[in-house]
Structure formats: structure tokens, C-alpha cells
Amino acid sequence: MAERNNGAEIDSLVAQIARGDRMAFDQLYRHLERPLFRFIVLRLNDRHRSADIMHDVFLEVWRSAAAFRGQSSARTWIFAIAWRKAMEIHRRNDRVVYQETLPEQIDESTDAATAIAQAEDSKAVRACLDGLSAEHRIALELTFFEEMSYPEIAGVLGVPEGTVKSRVFHAKQLMLRCLTSKGATGGRKSYG
């Protein structure tokens, strides 16, 4: 429900941006800066180039908001812009290097045993993600971290919805198998 409200808020912000509202643009930037940057870095593994692309994406949103037709959610439209710009860099360089690690999560619990188990699980998740193809990693990123629906992901990646479903299904199976083999305790809850 919160994700739906967030999507409606982003749609509203883009409509306000189309009318030249700079405050709405600032709010949109604050809403999407982190997830969009993480998404681009996942594709390029270059923080500096990813920051440049992210700013290009927001510039395009500012310039093109009035042309947004609402055939998808505004969030999907923005992530699709980011995807296309990242792919342009990929094609230009004729290769891409993928980020193989997830950012560290700070555990604020006081239970040391829980903290150690979570750290071990986190390492296992990172190791298992390392073994996935880029397509599988991106499918999981958009599904679980960005909480996008399959149709939204299909719109971002420009592939059929069935392809997205297949990638997510296979990625979950690969993650479950890998996490189980590594003895990660949280593996079944997160990806099963």
C-alpha cells in the first residue's frame, strides 16, 4: 500500500514538474535519488559515471515531464530513462563491469549473536548475488529493492512481462539454492 501511495506521489510530482514546479522537482529528486543511483551503479559499476547519468536522467525528466503520457507510472518512466542512458554507455564502451557487492547494512540491534548471524547471512547473500547473471541481479534489484511490479520492470527493461517473471523465478531459485548451500539462515524467508 505504501508503495502504491509512493507511486501516486511520484506521478503527482511529475505532473507538477510538467507545469514548471521547481519544488516538486526537488521533492522528486529526494524521493528517487538513492534508488535510481543504486540502479544505475548496479548496471555500470562506476559511481562517477553513474552520478553523471543520474543527473542526466533528472535533467531529461525536467525537460520531458510535459511530454509524459502516463502509459506507465512516472516511476517506471524515470527508471526506463535511466536504463536507456546506462545502455547507451554500455554500447559506447562495448563492455560493462557489474558491481558485485551490496552496500553494508548497519545493524543497530544489541544482540551480538544476531548481529553475527546477520553479517554472515549478508556475506552469503553478496556471494550468491555475485554468481547471478546481470539480468538476474537487475530483476531481483527492481523486484525486491525497488518493489516494482512485473509490468513496471518489463517497461523499464523493454522486455516482455513473461521474461521478467522467468528471470525473477530463476534468480530466486538460484539464490535459494546458493544460500542453502552456504547455510544462510535468512535465505528461505527472503527468496523462497
H or E element in which residue 22 lies: helix 22-44
Per-residue model confidence as pLDDT tens for the chain (192 residues) = 444 557 789 999 999 999 999 999 999 999 999 999 999 888 888 888 899 999 999 999 999 999 998 888 999 999 999 999 988 887 776 554 445 554 554 545 445 555 556 656 777 777 887 788 888 888 888 888 788 889 989 988 889 999 999 999 988 888 888 888 877 655 444 444
Beta-carbon contacts of residue 60 (< 8 Å; ≥ 6 apart): 81, 85
- Residue 182: is it exposed, middle or buried by C-beta count within 10 angstroms (0-12/13-18/19+)? middle
Strands (E), 4-123: none
pTM higher than 0.75? no
The amino acid sitting at 26 is: D
Query: 41, 60, 93: which is the final residue of a domain?
Result: 93
Same domain, 147 and 176: yes
Q: Which domain holds residue 163?
A: 112-191
How far, in Å, CA of 69 to CA of 137, rounded? 30
Same domain, 125 and 46: no
What CATH number does residue 73 fall under? 1.10.1740.10
How far, in Å, CA of 191 to CA of 125, rounded? 10
H or E element in which residue 181 lies: helix 161-182
Cell of 111: 544482540
Integer angstrom CA distances of residue 106 from 37, 70, 110, 122 = 20, 38, 12, 11
Same domain, 187 and 140: yes
The amino acid sitting at 136 is: H
How far, in Å, CA of 1 to CA of 17, rounded? 24
What CATH number does residue 139 fall under? 1.10.10.10
The amino acid sitting at 30 is: R
Angle 32-13-75 from CA coordinates, rounded to 5°: 45
Instruction: Tally the domains of the chain.
Output: 2
